[in-house]
Structure 1
Amino acid sequence: MIEEIRIENLGVIGRAQVELGPGLTVLTGETGAGKTMVLTALGLLLGGKADPGTVRTGATSAAVEGRVRLDAADDALARAVDAGAEVDEDGSLLVVRTVTAPSGEAAGRSRAYVGGRSVPQAVLGELADALVTVHGQSDQARLRSPAHQREALDAFVGGQHGATLEQYRAAWAERGRVDAELAELVDRALDRSREAELLRLGLAEVERVDPQPGEDVALGDEIERLAHAEDLRAAAAGAHAALVGEDDGAGESVAAVDAIEHARRSLEQAASHDPVLGALATRVAEAGYLLADAAAELSAYVDDLQADPARLDVAQRRRAELTTLTRSYGSDVAEVLAWADDAGRRLLALEGGDARIEALRERRSELDTELAVLADGITAARTEAAERLAKVVTEELAGLAMTGARLTAVVEPAEEAGPHGADRVEMLLEPHAGAPARPLGRGASGGELSRVMLAIEVALATAEGSGAPGTFVFDEVDAGVGGRAAVEVGRRLAELARGSQVLVVTHLAQVAAFADRHLVVTKSTADGVDVVTESDVRLVTADERVRELARMLSGSEDSEAARTHAAELLEASSVGR
């Protein structure tokens, strides 16, 4: 139940507080007084789209604050807790929505808060679905649509029907995904075949050449060495001679190794007199060891190095094979091997395409069977409920001054199945005895449609297990209704309010007379600008209420005849309840 709504800087409302309660509450006032802004504020609290243009001129932002009371079993309570909201011990929850003006740094920004926690706007919508049902003149227009008539019938069915519909929609969505993937696989079958053949050819070539990791680098080094064998031998031999010496014809050695050895001995002989020379002698000795090792390796290198034209030819031809691969599949052998690995996995996936197509076809067949079974159950539930709904609504219409009117809900096969089943639902109305049954979308007047909508809403609210929210909001549900019919509309709203909270915005005194609480919205003028302040939304009782009803009846609250009629309405509504 909504306990109160506080509004700041929204449209003509500067600051206002609307206190609500159980039962039937009506909101009345002159045209343009601000009743629409009250409903706009409620819409914001219920997750509706924020319009920056509704922010009051001169204000930087508008704010709406609502306090709702939740029962422990309410789905809304669980959703609020999931969102991190703090709920008071008495079950009351504070909901806040702010909207910034269309100009400024944060132009048009909207914020939502539930129980002191900032939440996405969608959370408010989820809470609203469990808390409130809102109906306005636009809903009457939507009732002309067979799709909305189907939704009303589905809501009336109750029980497991909602779960069955969800299961059907899930299966329908999966079938759509299966169809899309299957179509893509079939359409691209030729492309996949061509891609697979190219991959097979490439992998066969790689397999034939059989490149080894790092082989291209090793071959490059080997070819370079074989191609310059003589130069390498000469360099190594010259270096070896420099290290170990050679006969220069005079019998004198110029070996670096001998020179190092001579230096070592000289230092060691003098080392006993200065330890510094001893340390240097050690270092010179180490140099001698290194030179001796290098000389030995150079000798072995010269002995092993042989010019081998045959081996050079083999290495060059092998490198040419690797070069052919790298031109097609990578810049070096490492990239070629990586391509082959990826290509192998891709080929497995492509070759599995036929198996995937077969699996998808089997799954589609399973889904078709499941959908057919679910659709039959949905059709049976709708057909049975259509008769009950038609009976209940017809009885309600009789109580709404449409004696002789009859509603029929027709469930027939649709041209093709869809995400909501295989049925087409249409409601037909006989407005009076002997009149032909015509679709609501074409045959009902505005007043008739208002009463049909109210009758359907009452049927939904009173249906066993309907799970209807505990609060109903009607915006001029009495449009196009007058006289006795208006009285009956008021009486039926009062009956609905016995078990639910009902808020009605109305221009009809006959409806307002049945209210448990009567709120009147008026406008003041501040600085030459119309504004609604806290004192301009007031609860009227006793004589004040009579005067407001008189104004609604005649346009003049001081008309004695209107006041008498208003008093009669109040008395009749009290007796009628």
Structure 2
Amino acid sequence: MIEEIRIENLGVIGRAHVDLGPGLTVITGETGAGKTMVLTALNLLLGGKADPATVRVGATSAAVEGRVVLDPGAPALARAAEAGADLDDDGSLVLVRTVGAGTDSTTGRSRAFVGGRSVPQALLAELADELVTVHGQADQARLRSPAVQREALDEFVGAAHHEVLARYRAAWAERARVDGELTELVDRALDRTREAELLRLGLAEVERVDPQPDEDVTLAEEVDRLSHAEDLRTAASGAHAALVGDDVADEGAAAVGTIELARRLLEHEGAHDPALAALATRVAEAGYLLADVSTDLAAYLEDLQADPLRLEAAQRRRAELGSLTRSYGSTVGEVLVWADTAARRLMDLDGGDERIEELREARARLDGELSTLASELTAGRLGGAERLSAVVSDELSGLAMGGAELLVRVEPAAELTAHGADRVEMLLVPHAGAPARPLGKGASGGELSRVMLAIEVALATAPGATRPGTFVFDEVDAGVGGRAAIEVGRRLSALAQGSQVLVVTHLAQVAAFADRHLVVTKSTADGVDVVTESDVRLVTRDERVRELARMLSGQEDSDAARTHAAELLELSSVGR
């Protein structure tokens, strides 16, 4: 339930506080007084589109704040909690919407808050689906749409029908996904065959060459060494000679001999000075290192051979590897990675026929499931259509449309759709003997208003109904007068027995049935029309009689109008 709305700088409203409550609340006022701005404010709170042009002239922004009371287990409450909203101490939730004046992205920006937390506008709209059902003249026009008529019928049929519809839609979405994948596989069959053949050729070449990890690096080093064998031998021989000499006679002139001589000299006198002894040790270590190097050089020379045949073989192998790296990767490592990926891709491609068969079987299974669920939907709609026709026709009779009848037809559609196998159409017989005509063609504005109200009452009172707790009607009485207007008020009052109903009306016959009657007036400040806190007031007793008299005749002090107004109030109380 919406407990209150506070509005600042919206249209003609400078500042207003609208205190709401359970039951039927009507909002009345002279044309241009700003009563419609109350619904504009409510629309903003419910996630509607923000229009900077609605900001009051001279103000930089407009703000709307609403307080709603939710049941502890309400889905809207859980969704708000997910967004980080905080509840007030009394368990109510505060919604806020601000709209900047101007048209650019900065000055015309709209912001939304739920429970003190900034949220996307879409969250307000999501919460609104759980909180409020809004009906205006645009919604009356929507009632002409077959899609809206089908949704109304589905809503009336009940929760079990909704579960079947949810299963059908899930199967429909899965069927679309399967069919899309299947179509792609079939359409790309030739491309997949070509791709598979290219992969096979590439894998066959890799298998023939049989590259080993890092083989290209190893071969490059080997070819470089064999190509410079003589230069390597010369360098190694010269280094070996420099270290150990060519023969024993040259040993003293070689590096090893020189180091050995230095070591003996230092060790001989090192006993007299520890520092010199330490240097002798370091020289000895250098001698050991040179000796090891000279031994390794000798082994290197012994192993080093000029092998033209091996060089030729290594160069041929590098050329084979080069053919792979030019096609499948810059290195042998990348070629091996490509081969692994290609092998797995080839398995997928070779399994394409199996996948196509699997998808065809899945599609056939889903077609069967959709057919079964569509039959269940049709059965539910046929039964619901008969009941809805009877309930709404009874309501229309009470709404001063004696002899009127609503026919809800469920006929086979040309093919299955996302909503089942049915085409739903509502037809109106406006009076006895008249032909049935589609709502979209044969109903006047006043008739549509009453049909919409009758359907809403039927939906709200259907067994297991899960309608939102608040209904908002904007000029639901358009095109209605006289006895019909009284019956509209009576039905709104009946609807309000179990829900909060807010109505903007210009008919005294409707306003007389209200549990709360709010009147919006406007005053003038600095030559500009404005609605302030004192201009939105709850009227009771004599004030209410005067307002009803004004609505009836335009003259609130007319004795005749006041008498008529009092009679309306008495009639409404007796009717309840």
Both structures adopt the same fold (TM-score exceeding 0.5): yes
Following the alignment from structure 2 to structure 1, what is the Cα–Cα distance between the partners of residues 263 and 76?
97
CA contact (8 A) 2:35 2:520 kept: yes
* CA spacing shift, 1:251–1:80, aligned 2, 3 Å: closer
Q: Which runs of 5+ in 2 are unaligned?
A: none
Residue 437 (structure 2) pairs with residue 438 (structure 1): yes
Following the alignment from structure 1 to structure 2, what is the Cα–Cα distance between the partners of residues 355 and 224?
52
Following the alignment from structure 1 to structure 2, what is the Cα–Cα distance between the partners of residues 555 and 426?
42
| More displaced 10-residue stretch of structure 1: 68-77 or 259-268 | 68-77
In structure 1, what residue type is equivalent to 2:272?
A: H
- The aligned counterpart of 2:385 is 386
- The aligned counterpart of 1:225 is 225
Following the alignment from structure 1 to structure 2, what is the Cα–Cα distance between the partners of residues 252 and 132?
108
Identity %: 77
- The aligned counterpart of 1:334 is 333
What is the deviation of 1:460?
0.7
- The aligned counterpart of 1:134 is 134
- The aligned counterpart of 1:309 is 308
In structure 2, what residue type is equivalent to 1:546?
A: V
Residue 204 (structure 2) pairs with residue 195 (structure 1): no
* CA spacing shift, 1:177–1:28, aligned 2, 3 Å: same
What SS does the aligned partner of 1:273 have? coil
Residue 165 (structure 2) pairs with residue 175 (structure 1): no
In structure 2, what residue type is equivalent to 1:475?
A: D
What is the deviation of 1:104?
7.6
What is the deviation of 1:88?
4.4
Matches within 5 A, 1:271-286: 271-286=270-285
Following the alignment from structure 1 to structure 2, what is the Cα–Cα distance between the partners of residues 303 and 89?
95
| More displaced 10-residue stretch of structure 1: 251-260 or 316-325 | 251-260
Q: Deviations 1:310-334 (Å, cap 9, x if unpaired)?
A: 1111111011101111111111111
Following the alignment from structure 1 to structure 2, what is the Cα–Cα distance between the partners of residues 274 and 186?
94
CA contact (8 A) 1:246 1:254 kept: no
Q: Deviations 1:316-353 (Å, cap 9, x if unpaired)?
A: 10111011111111111111111111111211222222
What is the deviation of 1:89?
5.5
Q: Deviations 1:32-73 (Å, cap 9, x if unpaired)?
A: 211121001111222222223322223232221112222335
What SS does the aligned partner of 1:160 have? helix
CA contact (8 A) 1:112 1:121 kept: yes
* CA spacing shift, 1:84–1:241, aligned 2, 3 Å: closer
Following the alignment from structure 2 to structure 1, what is the Cα–Cα distance between the partners of residues 431 and 497?
29
Following the alignment from structure 1 to structure 2, what is the Cα–Cα distance between the partners of residues 71 and 96?
20
In structure 2, what residue type is equivalent to 1:135?
A: H
| More displaced 10-residue stretch of structure 1: 538-547 or 408-417 | 538-547
* CA spacing shift, 1:288–1:454, aligned 2, 3 Å: same
In structure 2, what residue type is equivalent to 1:365?
A: A
Following the alignment from structure 1 to structure 2, what is the Cα–Cα distance between the partners of residues 177 and 83?
31
What is the deviation of 1:187?
0.8
* CA spacing shift, 1:172–1:440, aligned 2, 3 Å: same
- The aligned counterpart of 2:2 is 2
Matches within 5 A, 1:443-462: 443-462=442-461
* CA spacing shift, 1:329–1:74, aligned 2, 3 Å: closer
Following the alignment from structure 2 to structure 1, what is the Cα–Cα distance between the partners of residues 243 and 95?
95
Q: Deviations 1:355-390 (Å, cap 9, x if unpaired)?
A: 211111111111111111111001000000101110
- The aligned counterpart of 1:287 is 286
- The aligned counterpart of 2:237 is 237
In structure 2, what residue type is equivalent to 1:485?
A: A
- The aligned counterpart of 1:472 is 471
Following the alignment from structure 1 to structure 2, what is the Cα–Cα distance between the partners of residues 219 and 149?
79
Q: Deviations 1:267-286 (Å, cap 9, x if unpaired)?
A: 11221222222111111111
| More displaced 10-residue stretch of structure 1: 334-343 or 238-247 | 238-247
* Root mean square deviation, CA, Å: 1.9
- The aligned counterpart of 2:562 is 563
* CA spacing shift, 1:291–1:80, aligned 2, 3 Å: closer
Following the alignment from structure 2 to structure 1, what is the Cα–Cα distance between the partners of residues 469 and 227?
95
* CA spacing shift, 1:466–1:236, aligned 2, 3 Å: same
| More displaced 10-residue stretch of structure 1: 12-21 or 291-300 | 291-300
| More displaced 10-residue stretch of structure 1: 106-115 or 168-177 | 106-115
CA contact (8 A) 1:246 1:253 kept: no
What is the deviation of 1:103?
5.8
Following the alignment from structure 1 to structure 2, what is the Cα–Cα distance between the partners of residues 237 and 574?
125
Following the alignment from structure 1 to structure 2, what is the Cα–Cα distance between the partners of residues 536 and 524?
7
- The aligned counterpart of 1:114 is 114
Following the alignment from structure 2 to structure 1, what is the Cα–Cα distance between the partners of residues 250 and 278?
33
* CA spacing shift, 1:74–1:287, aligned 2, 3 Å: closer
What TM-score comes out, normalization by structure 2 length?
0.96
- The aligned counterpart of 2:414 is 415
Q: Deviations 1:191-224 (Å, cap 9, x if unpaired)?
A: 1111111111111111111111111111111111
What SS does the aligned partner of 1:507 have? coil
- The aligned counterpart of 1:69 is 69
In structure 1, what residue type is equivalent to 2:419?
A: H
CA contact (8 A) 1:142 1:148 kept: yes
- The aligned counterpart of 1:497 is 496
Following the alignment from structure 1 to structure 2, what is the Cα–Cα distance between the partners of residues 342 and 112?
50
Following the alignment from structure 2 to structure 1, what is the Cα–Cα distance between the partners of residues 346 and 500?
66
Following the alignment from structure 1 to structure 2, what is the Cα–Cα distance between the partners of residues 295 and 38?
102
- The aligned counterpart of 1:299 is 298
| More displaced 10-residue stretch of structure 1: 229-238 or 413-422 | 229-238
In structure 2, what residue type is equivalent to 1:560?
A: D
Following the alignment from structure 1 to structure 2, what is the Cα–Cα distance between the partners of residues 278 and 478?
118
CA contact (8 A) 1:157 1:466 kept: no
Following the alignment from structure 1 to structure 2, what is the Cα–Cα distance between the partners of residues 251 and 266?
19
What is the deviation of 1:409?
0.4
What SS does the aligned partner of 1:477 have? coil
Residue 360 (structure 2) pairs with residue 365 (structure 1): no
What is the deviation of 1:119?
3.2
Following the alignment from structure 1 to structure 2, what is the Cα–Cα distance between the partners of residues 207 and 291?
48
| More displaced 10-residue stretch of structure 1: 365-374 or 567-576 | 567-576
CA contact (8 A) 2:251 2:257 kept: no
In structure 2, what residue type is equivalent to 1:5?
A: I
Q: Which runs of 5+ in 1 are unaligned?
A: none
Matches within 5 A, 1:1-40: 1-40=1-40
In structure 2, what residue type is equivalent to 1:77?
A: L
- The aligned counterpart of 1:484 is 483
What SS does the aligned partner of 1:95 have? strand
Following the alignment from structure 2 to structure 1, what is the Cα–Cα distance between the partners of residues 78 and 191?
52
Following the alignment from structure 2 to structure 1, what is the Cα–Cα distance between the partners of residues 237 and 500?
109
Matches within 5 A, 1:422-433: 422-433=421-432
* CA spacing shift, 1:252–1:14, aligned 2, 3 Å: closer
* CA spacing shift, 1:441–1:103, aligned 2, 3 Å: closer
What SS does the aligned partner of 2:427 have? strand
| More displaced 10-residue stretch of structure 1: 149-158 or 465-474 | 465-474
- The aligned counterpart of 1:511 is 510
Residue 45 (structure 2) pairs with residue 50 (structure 1): no
* CA spacing shift, 1:279–1:447, aligned 2, 3 Å: same
In structure 1, what residue type is equivalent to 2:395?
A: E
* CA spacing shift, 1:381–1:109, aligned 2, 3 Å: same
- The aligned counterpart of 2:266 is 267
| More displaced 10-residue stretch of structure 1: 211-220 or 95-104 | 95-104
- The aligned counterpart of 1:185 is 185
* CA spacing shift, 1:502–1:127, aligned 2, 3 Å: same
CA contact (8 A) 1:26 1:519 kept: yes
- The aligned counterpart of 1:541 is 540
Following the alignment from structure 1 to structure 2, what is the Cα–Cα distance between the partners of residues 323 and 125?
64
In structure 2, what residue type is equivalent to 1:30?
A: E
CA contact (8 A) 1:99 1:108 kept: yes
CA contact (8 A) 2:378 2:421 kept: yes
- The aligned counterpart of 1:92 is 92
